Amino acid sequence: MTAKEQIKLLKVFIVIGLILIVTGHFIISKEWLTHLGPLGFIIGASCIAIGLICSLPTKIYLTILLMRNEEH
């Protein structure tokens, strides 16, 4: 896998993570799933957690990868 393909893949993961974070926030704050009770909050919180898992480590690795490309 080339560096450009890696960068595209990492950017896709960042976008997916950010979408999940925003979706989880809207689920919790707009009370869309309050009829489910605690399960609605669990669904919103798990969306946020999965989004953080997708986006944060990816940002760190992407930053290191881009810094390495600038050196060359």
d(C-alpha 46, C-alpha 64), whole Å:
28
Every domain of the chain and the residues it spans = 3-71
- Residue pLDDT, tens place only, 54-67: 888 888 888 888 88
- Residue pLDDT, tens place only, 14-61: 899 999 999 999 988 887 777 888 888 899 999 999 999 988 888 888
d(C-alpha 28, C-alpha 71), whole Å:
43
CA dihedral 48, 54, 56, 61 (to 10 degrees): 180
Give the N- to C-terminal CA distance of the chain in Å, as an integer. Answer: 18
pTM (two decimals)? 0.79
